[in-house]
């Protein structure tokens, strides 16, 4: 179904790290603030996604990297809306 270089695979891969961060910090550490910044775990997950984008672009998997970039952007918008509450 997915090729190694596809946009849907990138979107799925881009949602994994923020999803894990959400499960850990909403399930296990509910209400805990890390370094007085409630969005820090999600920002770390997005930073790891950016590292993954760099690796994929250097290996020639641009479509997968674009999917991860799209998922990272959507996750950051959700973090700003729900955690930072602008």
Query: Please, where are the H alpha helices in the chain?
Result: 7-23, 40-58, 62-79
**Confidence (pTM):** 0.75
Question: Cα separation of 58 and 22, whole Å?
Answer: 29
Contact predicate 62/3, CB 8 Å? no
**In this predicted structure, what is the pLDDT of residue 75?**
84
**In this predicted structure, what is the pLDDT of residue 1?**
42
Per-residue pLDDT of the chain (86 residues; tens, 9 = 90+): 446 888 888 888 888 888 887 787 777 766 666 656 666 777 788 888 888 888 888 888 888 888 989 988 888 888 788 777 65
3-state SS track over 32-45: CCECCECCHHHHHH
**In this predicted structure, what is the pLDDT of residue 37?**
66
């Amino acid at each position: 179904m997915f090729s190694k270089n596809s946009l849907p695979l990138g979107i799925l891969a881009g949602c994994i790290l923020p999803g894990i961060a959400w499960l850990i910090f909403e399930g296990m550490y509910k209400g805990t603030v890390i370094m007085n910044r409630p969005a820090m775990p999600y920002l770390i997950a997005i930073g790891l996604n950016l590292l993954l984008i760099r690796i994929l672009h250097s290996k020639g998997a641009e479509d997968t990297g674009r999917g991860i970039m799209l998922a990272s952007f959507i996750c950051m918008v959700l973090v700003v809306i729900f955690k930072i509450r602008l």
